[in-house]
Amino acid sequence: MKQIVSPGRVVGLDMARCLALLGMIATHALVPVGPDGVTVVQQVAGGRASALFAVLAGVSLSLMTGGARPLPDAERQALAGGLVVRALIVAGIGLVLGGLQTGIAVILVYYGLLFLLGIPFLRLRIRPLILLAGGWLLVVPVISHLLRPQLPAPSYANPQPDSLSHPWQLVTELTFTGYYPVVPWLAYLLVGMAIGRLDFAAPRAWAALLVPGALLASASWYLSGVLLARPGVLTTLNGTYDGPRDVGSITDNLTFGLAGATPTGSWWWLVVRAPHSGTPFDLAHTIGSAMVVIALCLLVARAAPRVVAVVFGAGAMTLTLYTVHVIMRTPGIWPEDDVQTYLRHVAFVLCVGALFRLRGLRGPLEWVVARASAAASDSVRSTPAGRA
């Protein structure tokens, strides 16, 4: 039998990636609003699953460039060349998936651009990354609030190949106005990069994330609730809300979530904690939640690494399985929003992930991306500057 856990593989992170994937599938395949309002699944997974996905992207960036011991400049530059190719391939896959009629807000184009924006920060260690992330989540939502009224209105459509013929619209949606705006979302990546600089071999690496994450998540949630409860705040938000009203009251809409950014009719919008709102409170809460999930996954995986590696093997091939999941949501396959459809997707993802793990195989798209990025890194190394 192939080796289940390869040397240097952090199984707890694979478990966290798998949970992020399952959470995103839940928001795609389950009805988000029922007779009693926003469902529990939507309240738990909405916004948090995609944020966890983005934080783990930052963790991957750090691990690919040395982890707790950042690589020398020359080697880091070579790997950065590979990361550019990786980002472009991921974004290219996202453009293709965006053209399918799935009803899913495909994250991959945003994800690829997020990788590119993270490259200038590869040399940073934990402390500057944390300080930069803290400043980013406080300042950038304010800048976004001021800037978005001057930008084209979002189309609320997935980036797809045709989007390349409208470059300014595409750029503004990817950066500020789309479903996963990468400029505010860089806070997720920076926090993930700081986490990736931890020594995961240390027995209590999880402890460095659990308590700070829980405090950040709970404090941001509580403070947002206090501010929203002030007299007239919800009335102001209701009067300036320009999104769909089919969810119910303004409170129900905030519970359900927004489409990547808040309306800009009032500064009070910056205090909401709604999923996919991109406010300081939303970013802080979902970052804290992601830290708690990663900490618990590291703890569980340390107790039973082989079992976790197999059961959550899908976390080692999320690009492939996310792509297949999106394709399966096209009309004629499994497009319905119900529990049975969700269970089919989950069973498929977990079974394929476990099989590939037991066979010691890499996901097909992961294999392609790894080969292409390695070739790009080797090309950089072969240049005079790289040899030097």
pLDDT digits (tens, 9 = 90+) for 304-323: 999 999 999 999 999 999 99
Domain residues for the domain of 333 are 11-377
Residue 38 lies in a domain: yes
Distance CA 300, CA 345 (A): 24
Distance CA 85, CA 323 (A): 18
Query: What secondary structure letter does DSSP report for 34?
Result: E
What confidence tens digit (pLDDT) does each residue in 18-49 have?
999 999 999 999 988 888 888 999 999 999 99
Asked whether 88 and 225 are in contact (CB, 8 A), the reply is: no
Residue 3 lies in a domain: no
Residue 323 lies in a domain: yes
Question: What is the enclosing helix (H) or strand (E) of 38?
Answer: strand 37-38
Asked whether 232 and 320 are in contact (CB, 8 A), the reply is: no
What confidence tens digit (pLDDT) does each residue in 262-275 have?
999 999 999 999 99
Residue 6 lies in a domain: no
Percent with pLDDT over 90 in the chain: 81
Residue 373 lies in a domain: yes
Q: What is the pLDDT of residue 202?
A: 86
Residue 388 lies in a domain: no
| 332: confidence class by pLDDT, cuts 50, 70, 90 | confident
What confidence tens digit (pLDDT) does each residue in 363-383 have?
999 999 999 999 999 998 887
If one counts the domains in the chain, the total is 1
Residue 229 lies in a domain: yes
| Confidence (pTM) | 0.95
Residue 357 lies in a domain: yes
